[in-house]
Amino acid sequence: MKDQNNGNNNRQELTPDEERKIRQAFKAKDWNEIKSNDSWAIFKIMGEFVSGFEKLASIGPCVSIFGSARTDPDNKYYKMAEEIAASLTEQGYGIITGGGPGIMEAANKGARKAGGKSVGLNIILPHEQASNIYIDQDKLITFDYFFVRKVMFVRYSQGFIGMPGGFGTFDEIFEAITLMQTHKIGRFPIVLVGKEFWGGMIKWLEDIVYKVEGNISEDDFELFHIVDSAQDAVDIIEEFYAQFLLSPNFEF
């Protein structure tokens, strides 16, 4: 992390495309240009929503599995994600991922091996990411807008599994937690896998965000669970719906 007191040493090295986007944000635009650009963006956004709704509306109960695109197949969390996905599909759930490599690939692979529905919500990025080969081709959707993609995750999932990941994983997990905290969606089960990975963040939330700043409440810690095994993650999803006498009942 860069020290903010270093003055000129903080100048960032930007790619030509990054610099172009920054300069574009400061460029004065006339009304015709604003109207043309914004109108086109609205139609493109609408198109992504329509495509997502049409493909996912009848998909049945699913669990979204989030995690890093950079996780190697020999990593223990890759293997756990594959095991979790396979076990959930055997219980009747479909699996939704971000469609890329790493943890996402592992989850789609587990769903495919167990004969379940394997959904990929891919995103167009400059250097990442091609969709993985374990997604059902009729259930692969590619998005340009992150916010549209996140709507699809929370709208069509009945549970969320957070494997170790980076900023994207944190964004997706905290999106789901925030929507539940604010009662915008139902209180579906959220399971964070890997106490060693998530433990430091949870301690910071408890010690600083809750106890020092008071920015969240004690009840908010009940919105998610932390486990260390694939079986525990699956059990939490199953036990949550068992109390309502609910279970997946759709055909693969």
Q: What are phi and psi of 220, to 5 degrees?
A: -65, -25
Rounded to a whole number, what is the distance in angstroms from the first to the last CA of the chain?
Answer: 47
CA distance linking residue 218 with residue 211, whole number of Å: 9
DSSP string for residues in 2-70: --TTSGGGG-----HHHHHHHHHHHS---HHHHHHHHHHHHHHHHHHHHHHHHHHTT--SEEEEE--TT
- The structure's pTM equals 0.85
Q: Residue 2: pLDDT above 70? A: no
Contacts of 202 (CB under 8 A, 6+ apart): 221, 226
CATH architecture of 59-242: 3-Layer(aba) Sandwich (3.40)
Question: For all residues of the chain together, what is the average pLDDT?
Answer: 90
Q: Is 227 helix (H, G, I), strand (E, B) or coil?
A: strand
Contacts of 77 (CB under 8 A, 6+ apart): 67, 71, 103, 163, 164, 193, 194, 197
* Ordered alpha helix ranges (H), 57-130: 76-90, 103-113
Q: Is 95 helix (H, G, I), strand (E, B) or coil?
A: strand
Q: pLDDT above 90 covers what percent of the chain?
A: 76
Q: For position 1, what pLDDT does the model report?
A: 55
pLDDT in tens, 52-85: 999 999 899 999 999 999 999 999 999 999 999 9
pLDDT in tens, 78-121: 999 999 999 999 999 999 999 999 999 999 999 999 999 999 99
pLDDT in tens, 113-166: 999 999 999 998 876 568 999 999 999 999 999 999 999 999 999 999 999 999
Q: For position 252, what pLDDT does the model report?
A: 35
Sort residue 92 into left (φ over 0), alpha (ψ -120 to 50) or beta.
Answer: left
In our burial notation (b when 16+ CB lie closer than 10 A, e otherwise), range 104-123 reads bbbbbbbbbebebbbbbbbb
CA distance linking residue 193 with residue 197, whole number of Å: 8
CA distance linking residue 173 with residue 233, whole number of Å: 15
Quickly state the pLDDT bin for 23 (edges 50, 70, 90).
confident
